[in-house]
Amino acid sequence: MKTSIVVVLIVVLGGGGALLWRNASVSGDGDTLSDDVLYTVQKGKLTVTVTENGSLMAKNSEKINFQGRRGGKITYLIDEGKTVEAEEVLCRLETTDLETQLQELKLSIVQTEADLNTAQTELDIQKSENVANVEKAKIGLSKAENELEKYRDGDAPKERRNLEVAIKEAQTKHSRSKKKYEDSLKLLEQDYITKSQVEQDQIEFERAEIQLTGAQRDLELFEKYTFPMTMTDRETAVSDAQRGLENAGKRAESTLRQREVAVESKDQRLKTLNKRLKEVEEEIEKSTIKSPSPGIVIYGDPSESWYRSRIQLGGQVWRGFTLFTIPDLRVMQVQVHVHEADINKIKEEQPTTVTMDTYPGLVLHGKVTKIATIAGEPGQRHNEEVKKFTVDITLDSTEDMTLKPGISAKAEIFIEEKEDVLSVPLQCVFIEEGTHYCYGVGDGDEPVRIAVKPGLSNDSHIEITEGLGEGDRVLLYNPVLAAQAKAASQEGPAKAATTQNANQP
């Protein structure tokens, strides 16, 4: 609809439209165009730049996250915007509970160390007792084995030999007493001896017979009872001693293991307490947040501004919560958002000049260091028609300057510089249905639409590669739009008068 109106107005410029054109373009009382609405096409140098507004920020910023395992309340907080040095305290969290835990752990560690020493002493004593008990059992076994061997190979044969000798002695005595008794009987018959002497020899004989029977009986008892029973006792003593040695070894192993377990338990508890103590000490240490490097304090993470309100005295923080951002002011950059129509002109390493209203007269230099590959800037909705790309510009050395991140900055990116080219101001070129036009001056100062082919442009001028020549004069405005605006301004009062007359009785 808008295009149709423009065509109609151009067509009628030869008639009534020309009157509108003249009324909109003359100066003074004459009908000629004034020089202030015309531009003479000329050749010259065209510096092509892209200028965008952005924000000054540190190229490298260090985010300080709370590293503690548990959260806490803020009890001390440094002022935002303050310049700090490395290791300067930024924030402290409440540590009352942790301090109580620390004292309790220290007391428990002292008690556990004492318990561990006692258990270790008991273990050492048990080791000595085990050695003594096993050695005693070994001696008992050796003694029992020696007693068995001594009886079997020494005492028993000796006793048997003594019994056998006793039998032989009894036999000899028995034989002698018997012969003597028999001889006495014969002598009694011959009246060589008295009857009393015979009786005495008889008694001796009977005594010798009893002794022989007793000696023989003693040997029988030895072989049948004394020897096997004594051997059994000695062998049993050896077996008991062997079991005693085995039991002593097992008992030593068992009691030693019990003592070792007691030591291991106390040692493990001590290690656990020391580990817990270290954790609590680290937690207390982490509750004091210090600046890792010099810079300016910024609360929270600029990209997560919705958490910033939590950073205040009494505020609750948790593990991983970003408390501060410390920008490194030694290397600064400006971040701008370039329109999609200009983004293809931007290349890395292109030189740039930067100015800031905060620092009047200060001109900084830098270069393009990063160009976003995807359109979009913070806060821009994805369905917006106009797309912009984020471009980072790193400034040359600013270490000796004190610049405040976050302030507005204007960056002029140098694209190209062309010599001896035709160019006109941007307001001289118009687009209709995809074609670029300029309006020249024809006979009688009538507007003439001229199709042109544009080239590169900057914020004020655009290169013309076809359609115009040096010395041509073109209008600095669109006469069609001027005529349309003029007609609308005149039509308004006329409609108002007609309406007023219609309402009158």
How many C-beta neighbours within 10 Å does residue 39 have? 19
**What is the pLDDT, as a whole number, of residue 375?**
85
pLDDT in tens, 69-126: 888 899 999 998 888 888 999 999 999 999 999 999 999 999 999 999 999 999 999 9
Angstrom distances, CA of residue 431 to CA of 3, 49, 66, 343, 478: 11, 21, 57, 21, 10
The Cα–Cα gap between 245 and 256 comes to 16
Listed in sequence order, the residues at least 6 apart from 411 whose beta carbon sits closer than 8 Å to its beta carbon are: 51, 52, 53, 54, 334, 336, 352, 353, 354, 393
Q: Find out whether 71 and 316 touch, Cβ atoms under 8 Å.
A: yes
Dist CA 91 CA 405 (whole Å): 21
pTM of the model: 0.53
| pLDDT < 70: residue spans in the chain | 1-32, 377-385, 492-505
Residues near 124 by beta carbon (within 8 Å), at least 6 away in sequence: none
Angle between helices 227-286 and 96-150 (to 10 degrees): 170
Query: Mind giving me the DSSP string for 82-145?
Result: -EE-TT-EEEEE--HHHHHHHHHHHHHHHHHHHHHHHHHHHHHHHHHHHHHHHHHHHHHHHHHH
| Sign of the Cα pseudo-torsion (363, 368, 372, 375, in order) | positive
Tokens of 14: 């030869």
Domains of the chain: 26-60+328-487 (2.40.30.170), 64-94+287-322 (2.40.50.100), 98-280 (1.10.287)
Q: Token pair of 47, please?
A: 């510096």
Spatial separation of the C-alpha atoms in residues 74 and 94, rounded to whole Å:
6
Q: Decide: 446 and 18 in contact? Cβ < 8 Å.
A: yes
What is the helix, strand, coil percentage profile of the chain, to 5? Answer: 50, 25, 25
Q: Are 411 and 49 in contact (CB under 8 A)?
A: no
Distance CA 17, CA 331 (A): 60
What pLDDT does 350 receive? 92
Indicate the angle between helix axes 16-25 and 479-503, nearest 10 degrees: 110
